[in-house]
Structure 1
Amino acid sequence: MKGIKIIVCLIITCHCSTTSMAQVVLPKILGNGMVLQRNQPVPIWGTAKPGEKITVKFNKQSKTGVTDASGKWMVILNAMQASVNPATLTIIGSNTVELHDILVGEVWLCSGQSNMQYEMRKNSKVKKPDTSTVNSPVDELQRAHNPNIRIFLATQKNLQKTDSTHSDWSVAEDSALRAFSAAGYFFAKNLNHDLNVPVGIISSAVSGSRIEPWVSPDAFEAIPYFKTNDIKVEGDPGKFYSKMIEPLAPFALKGFLWYQGESNCFLGETITYTYKMEALINSWRKLWSNKNLPFYYVQIAPYYYTQGKGPVTYTEFTEPELREAQAMALQIPHTDMIVTTDLNDDLKNIHPPFKWEIGRRLELQALTNTYGQKQVISSGPMYKGMKTNANRIILEFKSIGDGLVSHDGKPLSDFTIAGADGKFVPANATIVGNHIEVSAPSVNAPVAARFAWSESAQPNFYNRNGLPAVPFRTDNPLKFTLTAN
């Protein structure tokens, strides 16, 4: 009798296993309430029984494919215009899966460490550096009920599972929004307002993570810098790439948003970080088979790293050098960066609370560089070049917008100058037209200038469009050589 029961159980188990293998199964990123990317082909994919015919129907389109020997299948929907009208996507195989409430619009992926993961629920009302009270993410939670903004929170666990609920996409409101990236949400909110199309935002970030786990290991091998300098890349390369990025591909995206660097700053990194950023960007673009996908990122904010705990001995220049490495990555095509020197009112807090402004500035980059709204000013002044004139250095800038300005009306702060001895001293800085002249009484023959070159610098040098200048030094000894593709 016992043997019969075992045989019956085995038959049931085999039947369930066979049935499961025959079922159409979708990745987590495909679900009810999702946003599909407009104006470009849209892959729909999953698994089923090998050799099975799969039909996908959506908005008068019907596409058919056949699973390969391993049971994988994919069909590509034709490019579609944006639509706020909820529609149903149907996948037909041995079973039928219906995904409801689907919109078509713009889709972005945001990633990084804790400042990108930083949830909407974390702050009550706070004060900006100019002391004016503004609405925080928590206040936004009371108002957020826009059905045309959809969010998907990726975790190490949910991307590895399959289920039949298809419920991981949500309207950006209530408990789902409370746990979502504040920077990502405010980017989406601004983009939805300015483009007037649905926006889907995917957050895949891990608190405390370094850059290396987000990169495909073979991407480092493709960068000659690491081999030439015999640099072994540590920090678990590929760990989050395989668990939290690969499962999202090839979901159609418009671009990437990145906020990370603090953990690598604790390592005292400089130019090596630039090459790691190149590896990251290359690996993600390769995964999505599009070398032109936009990549917009956040330069880390002021913070007392000298008071932190890390494996290096910090100086006040540790953070400026990491920020410099981030800025050098702008040489990578289709990238841009926002500056945050004005967005931390507590330099002992590595998590600046002003994430709505982070999202807004990232969206300005997208408007200008991705959506072609050239009238939008998206960057603050950026160092372009210098020349000397007697006892002065004349600094030239790009991204001046409507002109250079002292944001608070006070003399420009955080400029230093040095002569041939390399000793930097505070400098007097004056705006003259579209350039700045810097000098110091003790430096008769200046050769170099620096701006915001300390971890605590919160300078008042902006353009008239309200965007802070990018920290720099004219005596940067490091060179970044872009890998030829």
Structure 2
Amino acid sequence: MKHLFIYAFVLFSLKAVAQNPDFKGKKLHLYLLVGQSNMAGRGKVEESDRTPHPRIWMLNKDNQWVPAVAPMHFDKPEAGVGPGLEFARVMAEADTSVIIGLIPAAVGGSAIDSWQPGGYHDQTKSYPYDDALRRAKAALPAGKLKGILWHQGESDSKPALVGSYTQKLEALIKRFRKELSARKVPFVVGTLGDFFVNRVPEAKDINEQLRQLPRKVKHTACVEAAGLGEKGDKTHFDTPAARELGRRYAEAMKRF
């Protein structure tokens, strides 16, 4: 009974803190997480993923700041472990004077065409770009946008779509930076997994375009997903791979 009381008290305390986090006088670094399912995460949630870090927060579905735990995203019921939480852990340990604020906004199955103003994603009955922009603007009063993480391209690995991917991605970056008044905010992308490339030939072209992005757009970087494992569906990273991908994103972000 005593343990049950303590557990209930901890839950109540977390809820109270989440409703009224005190960020005043503290440096809150915001990171927007966008793309499709491998950014949202489909890895199996483990106990460590449910353990909050005192300096890592996330904006929940209701635009409230809560301690960051997996699953962070809510795009689909199968949301699980993605790269975002491990990314935040590395960034938090790199600078112990800051609080990390994550803005989960990825949407599983979303093609890049839905990441434009008014773009609609039928699978989730959502507007990925508009929703991400709205959530980012809701978070901005609490801190400063320090980076945008993008992992997407599986849905565009098709003969009719792959040729225009770079043009659309460049336009997306420009829009986000303009709308969020962050002209030089770092934008880090990640390549698609080897397991997906081996199954879908056009994915190789998407990866080459992602690798070329830093040569075309300032303040961008590309991290490699090479060698990372999948959960058994030849599409999604497993939990260890998602965490490693998050560490790779963090190492790239720290160089800005």
Q: Scaled by the length of structure 2, what TM-score is found?
A: 0.75
Aligned equivalents of 2:121, 2:73: Cα separation in 1: 31
Max radius of gyration: which structure? 1
Aligned equivalents of 2:22, 2:31: Cα separation in 1: 12
SS at match of 2:145: coil
SS at match of 2:59: strand
Higher-helix-fraction structure: 2
Aligned equivalents of 1:324, 1:264: Cα separation in 2: 13
Q: Alpha carbons of 1:190 and 1:259: their partners in 2 closer, same or farther (altered >3 Å)?
A: same
TM-superposition CA deviations, 1:425-473 (whole Å, max 9, x none): xxxxxxxxxxxxxxxxxxxxxxxxxxxxxxxxxxxxxxxxxxxxxxxxx
The one-letter code of the counterpart of 1:182 is G
Partner of 1:113: 36
Report if the CA contact (8 A) 2:120-2:128 is conserved.
Answer: no
Aligned equivalents of 2:72, 2:35: Cα separation in 1: 19
Partner of 2:46: 138
Task: Tell me the CA shift for residue 350 of structure 1.
Answer: 0.3
The one-letter code of the counterpart of 2:83 is A
Q: Which has the higher contact order (CA 8 A, sep 6+)?
A: 2
Task: Tell me the CA shift for residue 324 of structure 1.
Answer: 1.1
Aligned equivalents of 2:188, 2:69: Cα separation in 1: 25
Q: Alpha carbons of 1:300 and 1:262: their partners in 2 closer, same or farther (altered >3 Å)?
A: same
Specify which of 277, 300, 304 is matched with residue 192 of structure 2: 300
Partner of 1:32: 20
* Count, aligned residues: 224
Task: Tell me the CA shift for residue 245 of structure 1.
Answer: 1.7
1:337 aligned onto 2:222: yes
- Give the alignment of 1:197-216 within 5 angstroms: 197-216=98-117
Task: Tell me the CA shift for residue 266 of structure 1.
Answer: 3.5
Aligned equivalents of 1:244, 1:292: Cα separation in 2: 18
The one-letter code of the counterpart of 1:147 is P
Partner of 1:170: 66
Deviates more, 1:339-348 or 1:199-208: 339-348
Report if the CA contact (8 A) 1:246-1:287 is conserved.
Answer: no
The one-letter code of the counterpart of 2:166 is T
TM-superposition CA deviations, 1:18-38 (whole Å, max 9, x none): xxxxxxxxxxxx963375xxx
Report if the CA contact (8 A) 2:33-2:106 is conserved.
Answer: yes
TM-superposition CA deviations, 1:224-281 (whole Å, max 9, x none): xxxxxxxxx9989x93222332343271311101111100114553341001110110
TM-superposition CA deviations, 1:290-335 (whole Å, max 9, x none): 211110111111235676xxxxxx6x4x221111122222220100
Specify which of 73, 91, 94 is matched with residue 191 of structure 1: 91
Q: Which runs of 5+ in 1 are unaligned?
A: 1-29, 36-57, 60-82, 84-103, 124-136, 160-167, 218-232, 308-313, 370-485
Aligned equivalents of 1:174, 1:235: Cα separation in 2: 23
Identity within the alignment, %: 25
Q: Which runs of 5+ in 2 are unaligned?
A: 1-17
1:243 aligned onto 2:137: no
Q: Alpha carbons of 1:276 and 1:347: their partners in 2 closer, same or farther (altered >3 Å)?
A: farther
Q: Scaled by the length of structure 1, what TM-score is found?
A: 0.42
Partner of 1:366: 253
Aligned equivalents of 1:327, 1:174: Cα separation in 2: 29
Partner of 1:149: 56
Partner of 1:79: none
Report if the CA contact (8 A) 1:304-1:348 is conserved.
Answer: no
Partner of 1:474: none
- Give the alignment of 1:418-429 within 5 angstroms: none
